[in-house]
Amino acid sequence: MRDETLDRRINQIMTKLQLLSEADSASIVANDGGNKKPDSSPPPGARPDRAVDQPPPKDRSLFEWYSWHFAQANDDSRRRLLCYLAERDYANYHQRRPQPRGKTGPEDESQSMKRIVEWYEGVSALEVAVLEGTSLQHVQKARRVHKRQAVNGLPQSEWAGWDDTQRAIAVTNRANAGQSQ
């Protein structure tokens, strides 16, 4: 049995994403009351330049990306996660519109790392990997390179960048001052 509240939330967010969509109107699912004669048209979001079993690029159209993923989701827990992510992407759309990315060189990797650090502070690394369509290791590497905690992207504490000698000196000084731990 499907959760009607979840279905309503999904319909609302997909309507909002459709309004943001820059996709051409042929790829938008329309219900014309059955007046359209059946043809061999590709499924919604399908493009001749992309295999049907791969999602459309997220930076081209959030609506198409989420339409594809909702069509693939079989259980309510997956649909609930996608709904949450879609609502979050919609809320953040205007302040951080994704730029087209192509993995062609070191500049693109550094831009990707910078975006991960700037946009996703406080967000779990696994969620960032899902949102960015990249690996968990790439997200953690980006955060470590920029002196952030790999798990949540928050700034590291002062002592995290110290070597063993500096830590030993600080512990000794604090122990002499009567501080424990």
- Tens digit of pLDDT at every position of the chain (181 positions): 567 888 899 999 888 888 877 544 444 444 344 444 445 555 555 555 556 677 787 777 888 888 898 998 888 888 888 888 888 888 777 555 545 455 545 557 888 888 888 888 888 888 888 888 888 899 999 999 988 888 888 888 777 777 888 888 988 888 888 877 6
Domain ranges of the chain: 1-24+43-96, 106-181
Phi-psi label, residue 157: left if phi above 0, alpha if psi -120 to 50, beta otherwise: beta
- Burial code of 150-177, b = ≥16 C-beta within 10 A, e = fewer? eeebeeeeeeeeeeeeeeeeeeeeeeee
Using CA atoms, how far apart are residues 31 and 117, in angstroms rounded to an integer?
41
From residue 117, alpha-carbon distances to 44, 56, 132 in Å are 33, 24, 12
pTM for the full predicted model:
0.41
Which residue is listed with tokens 């070597």? Answer: 163
Amino acid in position 60: R
Neighbours of 64 (CB within 10 A): 24
